[in-house]
Amino acid sequence: MRLLIVGTLKGQLTTATKIAIDNGAAVTHASDNEQAMRVLRGGKGADLLLVDVAIDIRDLVMRLEAEHIHVPIVACGIASDARAAVAAIHAGAKEYIPLPPDPELIAAVLAAVANDSRELVYRDEAMAKVVKLAQQIAGSDASVMITGESGTGKEVLARYVHTRSHRAKKPFISINCAAIPEHLLESELFGHEKGAFTGAIARRIGKFEEATGGTLLLDEISEMDVRLQSKLLRAIQERVIDRVGGSRPVPVDIRILATSNRNLQDAVRAGTFREDLLFRLNVVNLKIPPLRERPADILELAQHFARKYAEANGVPVRPISVDARRVLTTNRWQGNVRELENTIHRSVLMASGDEIGADAILTPDGDRLDQTKTPPAVAHATFAAEQVTRALVGRTVADVERDLILETLKHCLGNRTHAANILGISIRTLRNKLNEYADGGLPIPAAGGGEARAFVQTA
């Protein structure tokens, strides 16, 4: 977390600095807007600007926009200066902190900007394999390609790799290749010299130099123009970059991580992505499975987000009801973890009573998430499968199969034909299994939803 403090903060500068450093921030000071811009252009960079309201914040915002520097601003001033606080927000500050600075408030703002709460939460074996591989390669300097659908947590995994590397105490710099216009991306990556193009009013250090010693994440690299890819390839191969308008190469020492939600082999065949660049980036591939293929992670993540957003919104931490769990585990989650997180955030705000019920699991439009075309019996079977797999350690395949068959039959109200169709087995196989269980003394759900009884096979 890199914090740039701008201004004198009316004598509170030392206190604010100490609080920030105690919370893990690397702090740089600037007396005014001009000096702040020199710091930002010079490669030290910042994740957050803490700016005295006495500074012309609107001027600072305009300077940042003119040079395409994206960094949030938090204004601060004496607690009674309400007019200055409102003016700062109108000028473009994201938040206002009263002085003297409160340690908990400063810590909360730093955590929100750094997004330290983005923990790697997982339980499913499919995700555990990916994390194990990430742990194995984290200590190397090998380039890593992280692939997966949108919302699966590619940047979270990238940060996980960085924090477990020998570069952990150096910068982690991320740039979204899809969010920056093509004509600006080269300057953002490699920097530029004064006068290199219209609007280049001063030398600007790019992300490669800003990340020196640390890690550079190229997010959604598949969206990068193929012409810029050749310059990126040279930077990766030779560890030198050329600023736009520069006359000499600049050495850099970084580790490259990249993400993509597309199949880059298809992009290579289509001629939109260089094969030699893919080889350079894809030394190790961490492929994150979609959430629908990690069923054990759904409830683990849901509980994590329920706690997180209850604390963030000052409401009681409520458990997720059985019915709500069924809704969550039977949903397809096309938006993956991002969609699940937003859904749980809504549920925390909408829930009433002692639990988060199914009626609080809503779509963005306010409809119940379980109001879908999924047949109820299929939904029940899916939920039963998730419940059975929660405690597999120490159990045999036969035990798991038996519990799944009996649970599915129960939810089908004893209808053998319906249960066999859901389980994907023949009615004869199902009858044989039930006869085997009955011989072992197990109660078998009766047809029609009656009391469980010993199953007797008829001719």
Percent of the chain clearing pLDDT 70 (strictly above): 88
* Contact of 407 with 387, CB cutoff 8 Å: yes
407, two tokens: 């649970």
DSSP code, position 353: S
Residue 328 has pLDDT above 90, yes or no: yes
Residue 385 has pLDDT above 90, yes or no: no
Q: What was the pLDDT predicted at 449?
A: 47
* Contact of 142 with 55, CB cutoff 8 Å: no
64, two tokens: 């940042």
pTM: 0.67
Question: What's the CA gap between 183 and 244, in Å, rounded?
Answer: 11
Q: What residues have CB less than 8 Å from 220, skipping those under 6 apart? A: 176, 177, 178, 259, 260, 261
Which top CATH class is 2-114?
A: alpha beta
85, two tokens: 């606080």
Which top CATH class is 125-287?
A: alpha beta
Residue 258 has pLDDT above 90, yes or no: yes
Q: What was the pLDDT predicted at 16?
A: 74
405, two tokens: 């068959």
Helices 397-411 and 427-439, packing angle to 10 deg = 110
CA distances from 287 to 86, 130, 144, 422 (A): 46, 7, 10, 30
279, two tokens: 């080889």
Q: How many CA atoms lie within 13 A of 340 on its CB side?
A: 32
Question: What's the CA gap between 79 and 101, in Å, rounded?
Answer: 10
The band of 382, judged by pLDDT with boundaries at 50, 70 and 90, is: low
pLDDT per residue over 174-220, tens digit each? 999 988 888 789 989 998 888 777 777 788 889 999 999 999 999 99
Homologous superfamily assigned to 394-439: Homeodomain-like (1.10.10.60)
Residue 455 has pLDDT above 60, yes or no: no
Mean pLDDT (whole number) for 69-96: 82
Q: What was the pLDDT predicted at 451?
A: 40
Weakest-pLDDT range from 110-119, 180-189, 408-417: 110-119
Same fold, 2-114 and 125-287: yes
Mean pLDDT (whole number) for 87-101: 83
The torsion angles phi and psi of 34, rounded to 5 degrees, stand at -60, -45
**3 state SS of 313:** helix
Domain boundaries, the chain: 2-114, 125-287, 292-360, 394-439
Which top CATH class is 292-360?
A: mainly alpha
Q: What was the pLDDT predicted at 458?
A: 39
